Structure 1
Amino acid sequence: MKPGAAIEAVCDKTTDDRLSITAIVLAFNEEIHIRRCLERILPHVQRVVVVDSFSTDKTVEIARDLGAEVLQHPFKHQADQFQWALDTLDIQTDWVLKLDSDEYLEPSAQEWLRQKLVDVPADVTGLEFKRKVIFQGRFIRHGRYYQTVLLRLWRRGCGAIEQRWMDEHAILLHGRSTRVDAGDLVDDNLNDMTYWIDKHNRYATRAMVDFINREHPIFWKDERIKDTDSSAGKKRFLKNSLYARAPLYLRAFLFYAYRYIFRLGFLDGREGLVFHFMHGCWVFMLIDAKIDEARRFIRAHGIEAFKQHLVDRHRIQL
């Protein structure tokens, strides 16, 4: 049987009842994840588009063999990449689904969509999913992390991606959202700790850029999420009004203590110890160190030199 034949067979049988959804999947060197992601979504939606950042592994080959469309576009950051897809694709389906390559919907969430999507009230323009993070094979249930809710599915023309270098969210341009109350959006990255550290080091640099932009406006600050009543908007408000005003470094320790002790992160076992410390303390400490470093650079050389430094050192073109 040729590659992708099993998926093609399933899709052929379910063409008429596949949901009117275009799934957009961002990818770069994701051969470890892309098959799992696509095999779990292709049988259920009318269109799947992989937006690839010129992968050098087999990501594109696997995606095309499975029957997904593949577009390639130079990468700036996740928000820019996904918004480019929204602006470029001629989307004809009723709904748009946002996925990363290491994510997938649980079967119960897929079934919820099959049973209830057609009956969603007209004023509901977006659907939120609860995110389930799997770290080193373990479901991270505690530390308040399992309470993260993300807008990932919206009616065509009703959604956009806020333009940030880090921690971007989908936002509704009008209407309201409701939550899918069966099944989760699973985030299960299969790479090793070296990959995890390298990735979050890059994320910390991008988070620093967004923070410095609050102090020295060097690019347009997208604040559209303030006008929404979303879970992400409320979380952003708390982050900007409380966490961002706390002293550098100390806030990383306080956040870790909150997650690991007061929100019972210790109940997640050995894997939880690593995850909550690395994600809840180390990453935020690293962000603060990069903010501290950026402030010193700006004091010594000025903001224009800092912008050029971002290009030269981090390939970040504002």
Structure 2
Amino acid sequence: MNPDFSFIVLTFNEEIHLSRLLDSIKGLNAKIFILDSGSTDNTLKIAKDYGAEVKSNPFINHPKQWDFALNNFEVKTPWTIGLDADQIVTSELFDRLKNFKAHDFEGINGIYFNRKNFFQGSWIRYGGYYPIYLLKMFRTGIGYSDLNENMDHRFIVPGKTTIWKNGHILEENLKENDIDFWFKKHEKYSDLIAHEEIERMQNIRVQALRPNLFGNPDEKKAWLKRLWWKLPLGLRPYLYYGYRMIFKLGIFDNKTARKFHYLQGLWFRKLVDKKINALKQRSPKH
């Protein structure tokens, strides 16, 4: 068994994805922990077939589910890798992990992986979607789940991090080939984000990370989010969509990817702002 790292994966009805992910990492001979939230398809059978240790926990949101996973699995390796079921590890990243030795990373507490995101078969190459660096590997017991957000999950580590620019995780949710699934999922996400932003207006929530435009990828994102929250509701979706399509070159993506930019960058943001305004009207004291 790999002495350096273990994997944790979250699942819910992931039979369409799970074998794809587990096939991409099985040669690493690492312990696999899976936290399921009530799958009714073949997810648990697949997990068992690959020798994963499985626990179950009702799903509230991704940050809380990851927090449960990190605190309830007995990970004995010095490093933990947290992956989503709809991701796979490329051969280049596999090789980096195959050659990973914990003693080579003294003084480093977290490692960012480079992600390629796909929508309905198309790589989202532009619009600010590549490269995107995600903190996916961290020292066991040091990395933790950011509970200050309802939906936009991240792991946090204190201290130094490093970025692996070469080698990727590929992310494609095949369920989103059914556009109705995408809309229903983002209807739920919009509720989570709208309530979160209201709580930020009320100073109930604060950012866990120090915003820093020139910091690590998550500190930079925290800086951009702080700016986003200051922009006028209703106007900011158009500003963001324009920024994404023009300054981040989203216009050069193919038709399917441009549809993604419209749906995720404009339609979804308008829906969130609409729900925030509705919540503000219900509680004018905010």
TM-score (norm 2): 0.93
Give the match's secondary structure for 1:273.
helix
Which one is further off, 93-102 or 175-184? Answer: 175-184
What is aligned with 1:237? 223
Q: What is the alpha-carbon distance in structure 2 between the residues aligned to residue 222 and residue 38 of structure 1? A: 36
Give yes or no for contact 2:211–2:221 (8 Å, CA) kept in 1.
Answer: no
Q: What is the alpha-carbon distance in structure 2 between the residues aligned to residue 238 and residue 181 of structure 1? A: 21
Tell me if 1:252 matches 2:237. Answer: yes
Of the three residues 277, 281, 284, the one matched with 2:262 is 277
Q: Which runs of 5+ in 1 are unaligned?
A: 1-14, 304-318
What is aligned with 2:31? 47
What is aligned with 1:65? 49
Tell me if 1:204 matches 2:190. Answer: yes
Alignment of 1:16-165 (within 5 A): 18=2, 20-118=4-102, 120-163=104-147, 164-165=149-150
User: What per-residue deviation string (whole Å, max 9, x for no partner) do you get for residues 124-153 of structure 1?
Assistant: 111001111011111111111112211000
Identity of aligned residues (%): 34
Q: CA RMSD in A?
A: 1.8
Give yes or no for contact 2:28–2:97 (8 Å, CA) kept in 1.
Answer: no
Give the match's secondary structure for 1:46.
coil
Structure showing the higher helix proportion among its residues = 1
Give the match's secondary structure for 2:251.
helix
- How far apart are 1:73 and its partner, in Å? 0.7
Amino acid at match of 1:193: I
Q: How many residues align?
A: 281
What is aligned with 1:182? 166
Give the match's secondary structure for 1:49.
strand
Q: Which runs of 5+ in 2 are unaligned?
A: none
Q: What is the alpha-carbon distance in structure 2 between the residues aligned to residue 239 and residue 136 of structure 1? A: 27
Give the match's secondary structure for 1:93.
coil
Give yes or no for contact 1:129–1:185 (8 Å, CA) kept in 2.
Answer: yes
- How far apart are 1:116 and its partner, in Å? 4.0
Alignment of 1:220-231 (within 5 A): 221=205, 223-226=207-210, 229-231=215-217
- How far apart are 1:280 and its partner, in Å? 0.7
TM-score (norm 1): 0.84
- How far apart are 1:43 and its partner, in Å? 2.5
- How far apart are 1:45 and its partner, in Å? 4.2
- How far apart are 1:265 and its partner, in Å? 0.7
